[in-house]
Amino acid sequence: MTRLNTRISAVAAACALVSHVSFAEDSSLTNPAISAVLDGYYQNTERPMAEREEGFGLGHTEVAISANIDDMFYGKLTAVLEVHEGETELGLEEAFIQTTAMPAGFSVRAGRFLSDVGYLNNQHVHTDAFSDRPAAYRAFLGSHYFDDGVRLDYVAPTDLFWAMGIEAFKGDNMRAEDEHGERDFTNLGVYTAYTKIGGDIGVSSSWQVGLSYLRNENGRLTAHEEHGIEPAADDGHDHDHAHAAKYTGENTYVADFVYKWAPNGNYKYQHLTVSGEYFKVTDFAPLDEHDDGHLHGNEHEPDDQTGWYLSSVYQISPNWSAGLRYGQVNTQELHDDHFDSQKLKETEVSLAWHHSHFSTVRLQYTNQQGTNFDGFTDDNVITLQYVMTLGAHGAHQF
């Protein structure tokens, strides 16, 4: 009996050792991917709702760490450093876990992460082919919308790529303005639903289209107040710089598409990307409370707020790419008991030099035309930017 127990103990110890060695040999479990993205720039003037200020500055500089936690979960943390009015600010953009072994094409993500609405939003801004997000993103999603919440994704077992998902978020950065701090906001404020379908056209082309819906329970304005974001509440931070949406509404609809072409599917030397998105934001006018205690819609409901862009980026060679983008946003500004329409149009040309996948130097020209848009007038913006990646960096999304 003693010999048998000794043998069983030895086998158990060997199995434990093999298991430990197997986990140690899996670098994704023991050696997390650590990276930093450096974003520096010079810009001759400011743009509406954009984070970059006039002159020299640091843009979206981030430090990220990610790894498989075990055979069931993946985790990622992304911290962002930005300079605003001479002060360096540290923010947490991502801190989430995600399942990796759920059956039947399902997965769950929880924590703080980028919403999957639209095409650009779930991508980090340093992957963009332009120095700033389109005006529609800056107006309705605070450049890129990330929040604390949970997501359920499903990928269908079809020949075409077909994914869909739902999300629920706190929604603090999507709240309409509450100048006097008297409003009771819903703590679980934002819900989203989306679907994306894509496929290949031969060996050289691929495509994807998507539809998204965002429900914002705190999206309506408070009566007789200026349209904008919720001011900071004794925290000393400027929420206009904290990626909060400048223009909100209860319902936001997004349609997006992207088409990519590369000779024989080889993107290294030459490729073309054409993409676009359309936004529609509704139900943002204040509700008036009458003597009967019920809420009634505003008598003069304004036009919906809309925005769109169309972008084309062509990689001429492994070291050079050029981009052209046009976009506009139409918003409504509340003044006392009426709305004033605003329109911003942007035409952008970008030329970028890439010494490698990890380094980019970009020169961009933007012509902006604003019709009474937040006090901005027509202007020409010149931006010189570098984006450098240090350390391990995962592949970009489609």
CA atoms within 13 A on the CB side of 199: 7
For residue 20, give the H/E element and its range: helix 2-25
SS3 180: coil
Neighbours of 364 (CB within 10 A): 22
**What was the pLDDT predicted at 195?**
98
Query: In this structure, what DSSP letter does residue 337 have?
Result: T
Residue with tokens 């008991």: 337
Residues 6+ away with beta carbon under 8 Å from 14: none
Residue 80 to residues 93, 125, 389, Cα–Cα distance (Å) = 7, 11, 14
Q: What is the mean pLDDT of each run of 10 residues along the chain (398 residues)?
A: 41 39 46 92 92 90 93 95 80 96 96 97 94 96 96 96 97 83 84 97 96 96 56 39 82 98 89 98 78 47 92 96 97 82 96 94 96 82 96 73
Taking the C-alpha atoms of residue 7 and residue 171, their distance in angstroms, rounded to an integer, is 59
Helices (H), 76-234: 135-140
Q: What angle do CA 51, 55, 56 make, to 5 degrees?
A: 85
Taking the C-alpha atoms of residue 393 and residue 55, their distance in angstroms, rounded to an integer, is 29
Residue with tokens 């984070």: 51
**What was the pLDDT predicted at 69?**
93
Tokens of 255: 């349609």
Tokens of 167: 């999300």
Taking the C-alpha atoms of residue 261 and residue 127, their distance in angstroms, rounded to an integer, is 18
Contact 212, 190 (CB under 8 A): no
**What was the pLDDT predicted at 4?**
39
Taking the C-alpha atoms of residue 48 and residue 31, their distance in angstroms, rounded to an integer, is 42
Question: b/e map of 96-118 (b: 16 or more CB within 10 Å)?
Answer: bbbeeeeeeeebebebbbbbbbb
Question: Using only C-alpha atoms, what is the Rg of the chain?
Answer: 24
- Residue 8 burial (10 A CB sphere; 0-12, 13-18, 19+): exposed
Taking the C-alpha atoms of residue 138 and residue 381, their distance in angstroms, rounded to an integer, is 16
pTM: 0.86
